[in-house]
Copies of this chain bind each other. A is one copy, B any other.
Amino acid sequence: MFTPVAIGHIVSPYKSTSEIPKGLGAKHDAEGVLKILPEYEPGLVDVEGFSHLFVIWMFDRSEGFDLTARPPSDSRAHGVFATRSPRRPNPIGLTVVEILRREKNEIHVRGVDMLDGTPLLDIKPYMSTIPAERLRRGWLAEAEAAKK
């Protein structure tokens, strides 16, 4: 395998997991900054041409994993790979953010759901999308329907 390196960290308004909006209908419009280490700044050229980015990061305050998880948006348990639980075999998180602007090695974004100081592993451009009408969303759609 490989040894992960932090390419930077996130500046987020959330200092503890209890502050992060969770569950059905939770809004993810918090603003934050992807603070990339200055040595990687040349790697950011043209990133601001994209409206959205995939951010890959580490759940650094989670330990161990479970094979099932009970998400905040449902009363039932599901396989961990059918959820966004932090307790996964590899503690890797994935968030889609909207770029507000880039200032040198700092990318200001909307849509953060990570804790302040979370190590960043990678950034990738969001190049294409699946039309909403083609998506099936399994237990999440069922939980939404049950709530209505």
Interface residues of A (CB under 8 A from B): 1-7, 36, 40, 42-52, 54, 56, 58, 67-68, 78-84, 88-92, 94, 96, 119, 121-132, 134-140, 142
Q: Which of A50, A90, A132, A134 has the most CB of B within 10 A?
A: A90
Closest approach, in angstroms, between the C-beta of A89 and any C-beta of chain B? Answer: 5
Give the number of times this chain occurs in the complex, counting copies: 2
Interface of A is mostly: mixed
In the bound complex, do residue B46 and residue A79 qualify as a contact, i.e. CB atoms below 8 Å apart? yes
Distance in angstroms between the alpha carbons of A68 and B41 in the assembled complex: 10
Please measure, in the bound complex, the distance between the C-alpha atom of A122 and the C-alpha atom of B67, giving whole angstroms: 12
Least CB distance from A101 to B in Å reads: 13
**How far, in Å, is A45 (CB) from chain B's closest CB?**
4
Are A130 and B135 within 8 A (Cβ)? no
A127 contacts which of B79, B89, B137 (Cβ < 8 Å)?
B137
B139 engages A46 (CB within 8 Å): yes
In the complex, besides A56-B92, A128-B135, 5 extra interface pairs with C-beta distance below 8 angstroms are A43-B79, A44-B79, A45-B68, A81-B125, A126-B130
